[in-house]
Amino acid sequence: MRNALVTGAAARLGRAIARELHRDHRVVIHYRSSGNSARELAEELNGIRAESAVAIQSPLGNKADCEALATEAMAQWGGIDALVNNASAFHPTPIGEATESAWDELVDSNLKAPFFLSQALAPSLARDHGCIVNMADIHAERPMPQHTIYCAAKAGLVMLTKSLARELAPDVRVNAVAPGAILWPEIEDELVDSDTQAKILSRIPMGRTGREADIARTVRFLVSGQDYITGQVLAVDGGRSLNI
């Protein structure tokens, strides 16, 4: 059985991805602060199949954190075959109000950590012809108002995906998933009020938000058996990127 590491896997999309990959992987559930949720998920998955899930904490704030997480993850079952870089900070940074700490938080979580985790795990991934899936965003190409830093970081993650796909080939495949409107952000109410939601929904050709399962199944599609797909960014957005 192959082994997957999913960052930010204690809640929301990461949790759904971990559950989906657990169908045919052992899963390392990374968390930063949601320890109870991560351990509950590990217990749930271990109840389905013994010794198939573990929760590991890391702030992923610097290169050393990433290397320590990689080392601990690889030690669980002898290596990592799939890395899903899902952990992500998300909040607005209007011009004139953005701070350096906001820059660091958004760039570190969305770009720096995926790079250094990928670098640390590259030998294990290459040995077992594994793969990396990065969680990008449709706004990496089409900017979201008041989110300049976040969009820039996700744009960097898209280029990281393509660059790593070229550099790590043919032993490691690297792709990205770009979600559209799946879950409303857990941030300031004014960004997700009913009027804002209605405006977003009106511009989605499929007429609804997506489901966590839509993203999780797409990640599993890229991880399991698609050995001729690399360097691609797959939008899962109900057609939203056609009408931004």
Instruction: State residue 226's pLDDT score.
Output: 80
For position 211, what pLDDT does the model report?
82
- Which amino acid, 163? S
* Neighbour count for residue 77 (Cβ, 10 Å): 17
User: What does the pLDDT read at residue 190?
Assistant: 43
Residue 147 pLDDT: 97
Tell how far CA 227 is from the center of its chain: 20
- Which residue of the set 58, 116, 150, 236 is catalytic? 150
Check: pTM over 0.85? Answer yes or no: yes
Q: Is 31 noted as a catalytic residue in this protein?
A: no
Q: Which of 115, 214, 229 is nearest to 175 (CA)?
A: 229
Question: Hey, how many other C-beta atoms are within 10 angstroms of the C-beta on 15?
Answer: 24
Smallest Cα–Cα separation from 75: which of 129, 124, 9, 131?
A: 124
pLDDT of residue 206: 55
SS3 201: helix
Distance, CA of 83 to CA of 99 (rounded, Å): 31
List CB contacts of 174: < 8 A, sequence separation 6 or more. Answer: 118, 131, 132, 133, 134, 161, 162, 164, 165, 168, 230, 231
Give me the tens of pLDDT residue by residue for the chain, a chain 244 residues long: 999 999 999 999 999 999 999 999 999 999 999 999 999 999 999 999 999 999 999 999 999 999 999 999 999 999 999 999 999 999 999 999 999 999 999 999 999 999 999 999 999 999 989 999 999 998 999 899 999 999 999 999 999 999 999 999 999 999 999 987 555 555 444 455 666 666 566 556 555 666 888 999 999 999 997 899 999 999 887 656 655 6
Between CA 183 and CA 76 the distance in angstroms is 32
CA dihedral over 110, 200, 186, 236, signed as positive or negative: negative
CA distance 110 to 148: 13
Distance between CA atoms of residues 186 and 194, nearest Å: 14
Domains, the chain, ordered by start: 2-242 (3.40.50.720)
Q: Provide the pLDDT for residue 38.
A: 98
For residue 243, the one-letter residue type is: N
